[in-house]
């Protein structure tokens, strides 16, 4: 089998027997892929514990049959060990990883998605945790996988919504609806003009300085009510890490 190299983030790992590991990676070349690392629990030399969730690594691998790759080596590109030292960082980071793991298809390459994930894990590692990060990540991730929420017009009649118009967010239609189109059957949630404007800004902002972004608390609170519910609607189930986050933060 031909050996190749690609950059990757470890999304998940599980023991496989006494000495092997099964890892789920998001890679630059293959998108999401599962791999087996033979002897990884025994061989400190080849993997040096680099196959942990959140690790940003360069892997040497070979494609096998049945879709599973064989991971032969894993070198750290950039250590992100400070994420695991802070419970809020772990919660946010786990949420990013689970979103990518659950909402992307196997072997659908999207290098911009890896870039997004690395950007946010690095910010989480380097700066104090802020709730702006999960809120921004959600929107940018949805955009990259083709679910960009439409918030500047009504998704049903296409009428432009000004900042003085009332609007509701429809989870089923993935965007805002106007007063004329909204009805109880839609189950849509009222969304303020300020939040709509912030969402649009977040969807087009340069992420190079995302650590400096400060959103008003009411915008963050509204985003927290709307976007995770939209994700849940798309996915057909709740993300486990989101439930843990809500449980911990509700204490």
Residues engaged in binding Zn ion (CB under 5 A): 154, 156-157, 178, 181
Q: Nearest CA to 189 among 202, 175, 200, 201? A: 175
Minimum CB–partner distance for residue 174 and Zn ion (Å): 14
**Closer residue to Zn ion in complex, CB, 95/168:** 168
Element (H, E) at 126: helix 111-126
- Kindly state the tokens that stand for 148: 């960009």
Give the containing element (helix H, strand E) for 95: helix 87-103
C-beta of 140 vs 150, nearer to Zn ion: 150
Q: How far is the CB of 178 from Zn ion (least distance, A)?
A: 3
Considering the complex, state which of residue 100 and residue 155 has its C-beta at the smaller distance from Zn ion.
155
CB of 2 to Zn ion, least distance (A): 54
Shortest gap between Cβ of 195 and Zn ion (angstroms)? Answer: 18
Q: What is the residue-wise DSSP string for 22-62?
A: EEEEEETTTEEEEEEETTTTT-HHHHTT--STT-EEEEEEE
Of 24 and 182, which has the nearer Cβ to Zn ion?
182
Q: DSSP character for 183? A: -
Cα separation of 133 and 151, whole Å?
Answer: 20
**Closest distance to Zn ion from the beta carbon of 184 (Å):** 15
**Residue 153, CB-side half-sphere exposure with 13 Å CA sphere:** 6
CB closer to Zn ion, 130 vs 173: 173
Helix (H, G, I), strand (E, B) or coil at 220: helix
Give the containing element (helix H, strand E) for 75: strand 69-78
| Beta-strand runs (E) in 108-231 | 168-170, 175-177, 189-190
Q: How far is the CB of 55 from Zn ion (least distance, A)?
A: 46
**For residues 63 and 153, which CB has a smaller minimum distance to Zn ion in the complex?**
153
């Amino acid at each position: 089998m031909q050996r190749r190299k690609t950059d990757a983030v470890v999304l998940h790992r599980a023991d496989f027997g006494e000495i092997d590991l099964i890892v789920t990676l998001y890679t630059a070349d293959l998108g999401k892929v599962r791999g087996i690392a033979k002897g990884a629990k025994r061989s400190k030399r080849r993997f040096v514990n680099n196959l942990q969730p959140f690790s940003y690594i360069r892997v040497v691998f070979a494609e096998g049959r049945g879709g599973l790759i064989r991971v032969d080596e894993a070198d750290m590109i950039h250590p992100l060990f400070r994420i695991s030292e802070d419970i809020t960082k772990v919660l946010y980071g786990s949420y990013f990883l689970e979103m990518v793991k659950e909402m992307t298809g196997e072997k659908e390459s999207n290098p911009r998605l890896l870039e997004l994930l690395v950007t946010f894990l690095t910010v989480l590692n380097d700066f104090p945790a802020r709730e702006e990060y999960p809120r921004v990540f959600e929107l940018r991730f949805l955009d990259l996988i083709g679910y960009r929420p439409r918030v500047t017009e009504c998704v049903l009649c296409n009428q432009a919504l000004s900042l003085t118009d009332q609007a509701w967010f429809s989870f089923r239609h993935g965007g805002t609806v106007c007063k004329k189109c909204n009805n109880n059957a839609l189950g849509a949630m009222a969304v303020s003009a300020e939040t709509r404007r912030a969402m649009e800004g977040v969807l087009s902002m340069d992420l190079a300085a995302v650590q400096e972004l400060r959103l008003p608390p009411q915008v963050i609170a509204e985003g927290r009510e709307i976007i995770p519910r939209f994700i849940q609607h798309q996915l057909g189930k709740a993300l486990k890490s989101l439930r843990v986050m809500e449980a911990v933060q509700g204490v």
